[in-house]
Chains A and B, each alone.
Chain A
Amino acid sequence: MSFDLANNGNDKEDRKYYDRNKGDDLQISRTDMNMLIMNYLVTEGFKEAALKFQQEAGLQEPALCSSLDERIMIREAVQTGRIPDAIAMVNALHPELLDNDRYLYFHLQQLQLLELIRGGRAEEALAFASATLAEAGANDRNALTELERSLALLAFPDPHASPFADLLLPSHSQKIASELNAAILKMENQEYTNPKLCSLLRMILWSQNELDKHNIKYPKMTDLANATIEKPKHGRRL
């Protein structure tokens, strides 16, 4: 009782914020969570994981789109550096895609260039860049900057230790693979080309941004991956 009284003032203040350690009226059903995860697996093309998850979570047969198998193979090809294969598969699946989205095509070719650089085949890399990538670079400012960054890797004895080493990380090819995946889904008139989980996280970032703009103090999620929430420092309250 006395504890309650002592903390009364503080308590009131804290109530204004959502306390994630407390149970409350905002129930989120398990099915909703599962559906979000399933949506993530399907749109990102994790087919086996999706099927496994469906079994374990006891979900209904997921609506796998027709191109799921192809998309998985294309993603694999991109992430393992078999770019010509990936391009050939995309062309077989959607012949108009890479003609319509030249920037995406450039990104695939850039990956190819990076593969050559990674393999230390500088001569070939230069020949390849001037034969194919130069065209995209001449038409698009963004592409030109990215091309320059990629070719700059050649100037370093150890590209992995250069300022542009990020291009050689797997995360770069993963990013392009997702870009390609989204483009294919868009081509197939899918409603959402990005996983819905992705949009939810975006929404959090957006609202935090808006709050920051108005200089409002609130418990901020600083690390999305772990959902870490930092308490607000003193300031204007919500």
Chain B
Amino acid sequence: MQQLTVFMDIESSRSYIDELYSPDAAKVVEALVTLKNSVIGSNRQKSSVIQQGVVPRLLQLMSDESLDPNIRLEATITIGSLAKGTAENVSSLVEQGTASALVELLKTSPIGTKLTEAGLCALRSVFMHPPAPIASLPADMRLLTRLTQIAREGSPTARACVVRILSIWCCGAGEQEALCAANACSAAAALLGATPAASTALPALDLLAAMCFENANVSQIALSTRYGDKPIPELLTTLVCRDKPLAVAMGAARCLTFMHRAGALPADDNRVVFGALPCLARLCTKEMPEDIRASAAETLAYLAEVDTSLQRLAAISNHLMTSLADIVNCQSPAAKQGAFKCFASLGANDEDIRKRIIETHGLMVHVVNGMNNPEASVRLAAVRCLHSLSRSVQQLRTTFQDHAVWKPLMQLLNDSPGTELLTVGSSTLCNLLLEFSPAKEPMLDQGAVEMLCSLTKRPEAALRLNGIWALMNMAFQAEQKVKQRILCCLGTEQMFRLLGDSDTQVIMKTLGLLRNLLSTRHHIDAIMSEYSSQVMQAVIVVLEGSYPAEVKEQALCILGNIGDGEKAKDLIMANEDVLRKLVDYLVQASEQSWGPTSTEYVSRAIQWAIDEAAEGAPGEQAAGGGAVRGGQPGVARRGGRGRAAGAPRGPRRAARAQAAARKARRRASARQSEDGSGSV
């Protein structure tokens, strides 16, 4: 039975566990080695040992500096092996303070010893099990400096462990800055520079990516950190080559992507255009394994999310569209969502690309299927893709209609989705509700008005904006019953609440909704007969409040519209406050106390409002004067859009605003005095 010692059940070998508590060092070592050999390779043994409560003793043996180094080493190795067990094993280890004990061990144990290496291996195993016990590793400068020193000078195993631990630990701006200050960039560069093996290069690439993600400062430092005579971007460019292992090339391309998006590398930089982009396009192709394709598609989506030139370039790289269309068919949710996101990025700005996506690859069926996918991340990505494609006027009228995409979309939005999906989904709705979209009618029947009104009550500004924006689009050139329904459902109270919103954009769109509601002569009269006091009050609130000029401009445009009504213009004429206000503005405008452009718009708007009100011209002529009128709101609208584009809250919004401005310009001549229904 001699041979059976190694695989004996832990229950049948109670004796050596008792030996762990022996005062005799030699016996303890022997017991530890036996224990170690019994747990390595077997999850069953690990669970059994943990259940028997041996862990605290092991931690004690590991941490006691007065003990024989061999005892400490074997105890640490055993802990490390236990940490390679099941998720439950690891979480029970963490509960018993293993992570903190290991960190304490690393603070004191000398660099380059086997003990340090074993401690690092164990800590890495613990960290690899999500959720990693990030709090057990404090952002203490001395500790971090020590760790990065190991990353530069330790044994290959120790270096790989340290960098892997830090790459998992680094999950916020605070950690990014702390690591950067502890010189982690140069440690990563050193690991990438000296003919790296995949096992050390991969964690280094992950660490670098984690540090650079959305962090301009760290990315800038990484840009100039050198190993030998090569700065990090150069090192990365050599790693994206075809001869490197796929995972390494993927990691390097991701780092370059993150550095670009964090503003360290411009979009036309060779290392982005000829390094990251072609590499990612290659990793999306059919020959690659599915997990690599999935992350390549997702990374490419992030790379090309904003920049139109990168989108155009990606669209013609290495048959990317065909590769992506193929990835959509993959089984794994990660692959599907990566492909959808990538399509969304490619089609974000360029109409030609959108057309090619839809026409050549019949994506719409997959998008509709994706919106019904059981996996939430796939649904979100599918809606993102739909949103991007919905910026195309042509697609709205054709493919979108053929596949009745509004059905699954409405269903998703009514099905209490997460905030993110709601934001993207409602942006898509805005576009689907544009006046030329055939989906507008059926969506009204599906209760779109009610849903959008409830969106305007959300605490998230982006959702309120999308809700009111979509309502505005819906009201544009709508029938009277639609307008009534909107007014009725939104309620004047909510409208006043929105006029006091903290987000200027929301106020703008609310006023835009009012403008769109108050168009066409008999609509104006009908609405004003019912809501005159509220509307006038709203206008006065805006005119007297401390709003920016562009908001006041909108209010004046509303006045202009009211002035077009048969009876409604009497309301202006009867309102002393409003008339006085208008005169004030004219005086102010002539003094040019506002910016030159706003002054021009506002004064024109006032002029127009007064003309409308005072002239009391017969209806026919007013309508005939449409050319004049059409010109004015055209100008006003363009001004409004221009400002929106000039003050973007995010690159995506800027892109939207630009697209909207283009559209607004295109249709300007055909406009009534309404705020255009812009696409988002």
Contact = CB atoms under 8 A, between A and B. Distances in A.
A189 interface: yes
Interface string B72-104: 000001001100100000000000000000000
Contact of A91 (B40, B43, B44, B200): B40
A129 to B, nearest CB: 10
A84 B81 CA distance: 17
B67 interface: no
Given A84-B6, A88-B6, A96-B80, A135 B37 contact: no
B610 to A, nearest CB: 82
Contacts of B81: 95-96, 99
Given A109-B7, A135-B42, A189-B156, A91 B84 contact: no
Given A95-B118, A95-B121, A189-B199, A132 B4 contact: no
A9 to B, nearest CB: 44
A87 B37 contact: yes
B420 interface: no
Given A96-B80, A96-B84, A84 B42 contact: no
Interface string A221-235: 000000000000000
B41 interface: yes
Contact of B3 (A84, A105, A131): A84
B9 interface: yes
Nearest to B5: A84
A144 to B, nearest CB: 16
Contacts of B41: 87, 98-99, 102, 105, 109
Interface string B1-22: 0011111010000000000000
B121 A131 contact: no
B156 A91 contact: no
Contact of B7 (A95, A98, A131): A131
A98 to B, nearest CB: 4
B33 interface: yes
A224 B118 CA distance: 44
B197 A189 contact: yes
Contact of A124 (B4, B44, B156): B4
Given A88-B6, A128-B4, A189-B199, A95 B43 contact: no
A110 interface: no
A112 interface: yes
Contacts of A98: 40-41
A10 interface: no
A29 interface: no
Given A96-B121, A99-B84, A91 B4 contact: no
B247 to A, nearest CB: 15
Contacts of A102: 41
Nearest to B2: A84
B9 A131 contact: yes
B162 to A, nearest CB: 15
A87 B199 contact: no
Q: Considering residues B4, B33, B121, which has the most beta carbons from chain A within 10 angstroms of its beta carbon?
A: B4
B36 interface: yes
Contacts of B4: 124, 128
Interface residues of A, number: 23
Interface in B202-217: none
A88 B3 CA distance: 12
Contacts of A112: 3, 7
Contacts of B9: 131
Interface SS of chain A:
helix
Contacts of A91: 36-37, 40
Interface SS of chain B:
helix
Interface in A93-136: 95-96, 98-100, 102, 105, 109, 112, 115, 124, 128, 131-132, 135
A95 B40 contact: yes
A100 B81 CA distance: 10
Given A91-B36, A109-B7, A128-B7, A135 B43 contact: yes
A92 B70 CA distance: 12
Nearest to B41: A105
Contacts of B33: 88, 92
B605 to A, nearest CB: 72
B199 to A, nearest CB: 6
Nearest to A84: B6
A179 to B, nearest CB: 15
Interface string A8-20: 0000000000000
Nearest to B34: A88
Contacts of B40: 87, 91, 95, 98-99, 105
Contacts of A189: 156, 197, 199-200
Contacts of A115: 3
A131 B37 CA distance: 15
Interface in A125-155: 128, 131-132, 135
Given A96-B80, A128-B7, A88 B37 contact: yes
A176 B9 CA distance: 25
Nearest to B198: A189
Interface string B447-473: 000000000000000000000000000
Given A84-B6, A95-B121, A128-B7, A135 B44 contact: yes
Contacts of A87: 6, 37, 40-41
30 contacts: A83-B3, A83-B6, A84-B3, A84-B5, A84-B6, A84-B7, A87-B6, A87-B40, A87-B41, A88-B33, A88-B37, A91-B37, A91-B40, A92-B33, A95-B77, A96-B80, A96-B84, A99-B40, A99-B41, A99-B84, A100-B84, A105-B42, A109-B7, A112-B3, A124-B4, A131-B7, A132-B42, A135-B43, A189-B199, A189-B200
Closest 5 CB pairs of A and B: A105-B41, A84-B6, A99-B84, A98-B41, A95-B77
Interface of A: 83-84, 87-88, 91-92, 95-96, 98-100, 102, 105, 109, 112, 115, 124, 128, 131-132, 135, 189, 191
